[in-house]
Structure 1
Amino acid sequence: MKLRRLVASLAVSTAVLLAGALPAPAAQAQETGGRRPVVFVHGFSGSAAQFDTQARRLAGNGYRIGLIEAHEYDSLFQVNTREQVYAGLDARIDRLLARSRADKVDLLAHSLGTSLMQEYLRSSPERAAKVAHYVNLDGASSADQPGGVPTLAVWGEGSAERQVGGAENVRFPEMSHTQVVSSPETFTRFYEFFTGRRPRTTDVAEERGPVWLSGRAVLFPSNVGAEGTRVEVYRVDPRTGERGSKRPVAAFLIGQDGSWGPFRGDGDAHYEFAVVWPTSVHHLYFQPFRRSDALVRLLTSRPGEGVSGLMESSERHTNLVINRQKEWWGDQGAAGDSLRVNGLELLNPANAPRAKRAIGIFVYDAGVDGVTDLAAPIPQFFAQPFLTAMDAFLPAKRRPLTVVSTPRGGHGERDVLTVPALPSNGHRISINFDDYTG
């Protein structure tokens, strides 16, 4: 109730002033530094989140973050048609070209997005003429380079017969589907393809001084803006997840397109992004951003709707959604991943097999019986692409929940996020781990 009273007491004018008073980041400069604008098109149930790490890598190699964008859409095609997706992309490319004064853009697409972009590039010579390079990420094969645009095709695990004719085809057979998008190896290949030289670094290099953060609050998976909500940003204690102050460091009213920000932050800080709905609050936690980021995505849903609406809630237990843009492997032994909540290992061969390609994990007390049962995944989630769920009783209102990810390939490195154990009848919690190590 204290949180709700706090939300109610914050004046709307404060949000407007906070949003309007913040200066535009330096990344909004018009000059391209000799580099073309970059546009990423996601796949099924995707968003800009899959490309967020690569955008920060590009920025660390001299790209302007204001010229790195994602073209998002409803991959179920319930709120948009393919033609509307293409028309929106036309407008985006024209805007980026006008802003940057570049001759063309560089275009990347993943999974379902590759089918769309192959069709888009073939639809008219005028469209293809505005694209300098196209990167086809683990998606549709093609007999030739779409629209005659120079193409790099990057493939992960799966059939070695997949290819784009006439293109440079690169294969990483040990990489999973989403990992192909976010990996440093893929970054190196498309950076060389775009610029003709190797990147200075593949790390998400720390930025000196303050960082500027902005993005969108959107409904999953449609990418429709979470209109009418309020986003409040709090700096939190990494040891407990508790807020450092009662008032947010930034607050924004969310309009139709879901955009929020920018706000000036600290690259080493831990932040909570609270999406405030009329009847509940969705709390989203991230690892420190390290550098400015314009593609931060707050994936949410209306209370009681979407896949989150399938999670049972009560005042006795906490619900978690744990995301990473690199699949969770629970059946690969030492070559796989570990994910623990207060010492409880969540992953196993049944609920997170490599073949599931899960990047989103839902954790809650199924049946509201106070019993943890990890023997099998929860069927209604496991039936969805890229999702899994498990029955774990996480008591609310007690000690904080410390979530520890030990990612494969990280040489034992651990990523840790600690969050308050908030009751699920009024609060949702999403934890977002980085898809890289180091």
Structure 2
Amino acid sequence: MSKGLRSSFGGPNRRAFLGGASLLLPSVALAQTQGAPRRQAPAEAGPPPVVFVHGNGDSSALWINNIWRFEANGYKRNQLFAIDFAYPNARSDDSKPQPFRSSSEDQMKELATFVAQVLKATRRRKVALVGSSRGGNAIRSFLKNGGGAEQVSHAVLCGTPNRGIVISETILPGSEFNGAFPFLKGLNAGADDLIPGVELMAIRSDRNDKYSQPDGRFVGAPGKPTGVGYDASELRGAKNVILEGLDHREVAFHKLAFAAMYEHITGKAPGSMFIAQEPRPVLNGKVTGIAEGAYTNVAASGAEVEIFEIDSRTGDRLSAVALHRKTTDEDGVWGPFIGRSDAYYEFVLYMPGQPTTHTYRSPFLRSSDVVHLRPQPFTKVDEGAGAVTIMSRPRGYFGVGRDKFTLDGKVPPGINDGVPGTSTGRLAFEASPARTVVAVFNNETVPTRTWPAKDGHIVVAEFLN
């Protein structure tokens, strides 16, 4: 990995090179998530509180690694916040209501309310905002249209399609992500993208962001020009950082992205990427659901969660009795659960009308309250399968030739060559006998067990890196 970095404002981009270095194993910091922040902290000097803003269809759970690393470098837990937009998926046409989806204005207003809550809780005048993908749209709109410039000291936009995914009258017409339509046209009006009083930075990929491509392959229009280039995520006049080889999600969640955002906010490079282990981490989060095919971040009541410790090689449960069991109330909270930082766990989620979802995870080295749980639906390709196992990488895509990844010793179908374009892979198995299926991503290994699909069970191996 090259140590050479260059930066400027409106000049040559800052670059960091990703070679053969493996990803770090994560640790956990405790964030404050959507809803009224828990307690009022005394006012204090130092770097601003940080609000993390997730992308399209996502939740605050994706920021767990960033939160851990900020804490490892001196941030207190009560200074780190992560919003959960109620309806995180964008409308097909930003101007037309669509059930269980949000407009750009909806997200801007929701972010403004959350920032006000954070300022009240921390007794600070300004916050720093860090957004992934669509989260950056909400940040830019808040700063330019929602009065946010008075409440924000720093903003970091990671993989945000600032020029658009497309600039086209015919591809994605009316979309929030189309630079030819009102939302982005309004944000991009003017000679630059600067906001007076706010230190702005954009983090982008070189050529590996699926949503900053000259060809329309990843927006359903292969072979057609999108009207944008590889630099579609840059901010005019601001500091722009290029992380070479990283993909659309990694430019927010990779350790190099953390280093860039931390230095931008604090004015100094992080002292460490590694995080001290807590022997007995406290884990918590909420259960959310699906409405008309779209994930929401609305708390789900009446869901049952069980946690089992499993064998680190086979995925077998070490006991028939769950270490933790809870049925959620209206707040959707499934914990707290006090675990061990050297243990592997299986999280089982039972929700009416949804498959029973078995999620297997690597050890949690520290505490977190953004361990959110969602059901995993079956898809058409699962029809007729005896058992279905999915490997999932929420914080990045699978890069053929860049990463080492297998499920049950093979690369699942549907993972494309070239620009990393998918974060999941799935395989079907016989219903019986039940057996071990191991998922591998670089230095991370997650063991699982098969469960019968005919009885409504589905398995997810979720990577933390």
The one-letter code matched in structure 2 to 1:179 is E
1:321 alignment counterpart: 390
1:299 alignment counterpart: 374
Gaps (5+ residues) in structure 2?
1-29, 33-37, 92-98, 163-187, 208-229
The one-letter code matched in structure 1 to 2:247 is S
Q: Secondary structure at the match of 1:87?
A: helix
The one-letter code matched in structure 1 to 2:111 is L
* Residues 199, 226 of structure 1: alpha-carbon distance in 2 compared, 3 angstrom cutoff: same
Answer with 166-175 or 33-42: which moved more.
Answer: 33-42
Which residue of the other structure, out of 33, 38, 58, is the alignment partner of 2:50?
A: 38
1:3 alignment counterpart: none
Which residue of the other structure, out of 142, 155, 159, is the alignment partner of 1:138?
A: 159
Aligned length: 362
Which residue of the other structure, out of 261, 285, 289, is the alignment partner of 1:215?
A: 285
Q: Secondary structure at the match of 2:382?
A: coil
Runs of 4+ in structure 1 deviating by more than 4 angstroms, as ranges, are 25-29
Query: Is the CA contact (8 Å cut-off) linking 2:50 and 2:79 kept in structure 1?
Result: yes
| Structure with more of its chain in helix, by fraction | 1
1:101 paired with 2:101, answer no
1:289 alignment counterpart: 364
Query: Is the CA contact (8 Å cut-off) linking 1:338 and 1:347 kept in structure 2?
Result: no
Distance in 1 separating the partners of 2:427 and 2:289: 19
CA deviation digits over 1:212-249, x for unaligned, max 9? Answer: 11122223533333332112222222233232333332
Distance in 2 separating the partners of 1:35 and 1:232: 39
Q: Secondary structure at the match of 1:300?
A: coil
Shift of 1:61: 1.8
Query: Is the CA contact (8 Å cut-off) linking 2:415 and 2:422 kept in structure 1?
Result: no
2:254 alignment counterpart: 183
* Residues 336, 243 of structure 1: alpha-carbon distance in 2 compared, 3 angstrom cutoff: closer
* Residues 98, 207 of structure 1: alpha-carbon distance in 2 compared, 3 angstrom cutoff: farther
Shift of 1:347: 4.4
Distance in 1 separating the partners of 2:289 and 2:422: 19
1:54 alignment counterpart: 66
The one-letter code matched in structure 2 to 1:362 is R
Shift of 1:338: 2.6
Query: Is the CA contact (8 Å cut-off) linking 1:33 and 1:62 kept in structure 2?
Result: no
Q: Secondary structure at the match of 1:354?
A: coil
Distance in 1 separating the partners of 2:67 and 2:144: 26
Which residue of the other structure, out of 436, 443, 446, is the alignment partner of 1:417?
A: 446
1:92 alignment counterpart: 114
2:265 alignment counterpart: 194
* Residues 258, 88 of structure 1: alpha-carbon distance in 2 compared, 3 angstrom cutoff: farther
User: When the two structures are superposed, what TM-score results if normalisation uses the length of structure 1?
Assistant: 0.75
Distance in 2 separating the partners of 1:160 and 1:421: 43
Distance in 1 separating the partners of 2:382 and 2:234: 44
Shift of 1:190: 0.8
The one-letter code matched in structure 1 to 2:448 is V
Shift of 1:177: 0.7
Query: Is the CA contact (8 Å cut-off) linking 2:66 and 2:253 kept in structure 1?
Result: yes
Identity within the alignment, %? 25
1:360 paired with 2:415, answer no
* Residues 104, 270 of structure 1: alpha-carbon distance in 2 compared, 3 angstrom cutoff: same
Shift of 1:154: 0.6
Q: Secondary structure at the match of 1:52?
A: helix
The one-letter code matched in structure 1 to 2:258 is F
CA deviation digits over 1:342-384, x for unaligned, max 9? Answer: x3x1247x633233521122333xxxxxxxxxxxxxxxxxxxx
CA deviation digits over 1:112-143, x for unaligned, max 9? Answer: 22222211111133x22111210011113352
Shift of 1:427: 0.9
The one-letter code matched in structure 2 to 1:40 is F
Over the aligned positions, Cα root-mean-square deviation in angstroms equals: 2.7
Gaps (5+ residues) in structure 1?
1-24, 302-306, 365-393, 408-412
Report matched runs for 1:20-419 at 5 Å. Answer: 30=41, 34-73=46-85, 74-77=88-91, 78-79=99-100, 80-125=102-147, 127-141=148-162, 143-146=192-195, 148-158=197-207, 159-160=230-231, 162-203=233-274, 205-219=275-289, 221-278=295-352, 280-301=355-376, 308-312=378-382, 317-324=386-393, 325-330=395-400, 332=401, 335-341=402-408, 343=409, 345-347=410-412, 351-364=415-428, 394-407=429-442, 413=443, 415-419=444-448
User: When the two structures are superposed, what TM-score results if normalisation uses the length of structure 2?
Assistant: 0.71
The one-letter code matched in structure 2 to 1:121 is L
Query: Is the CA contact (8 Å cut-off) linking 1:231 and 1:273 kept in structure 2?
Result: yes
CA deviation digits over 1:256-281, x for unaligned, max 9? Answer: 45333232221111111111124652
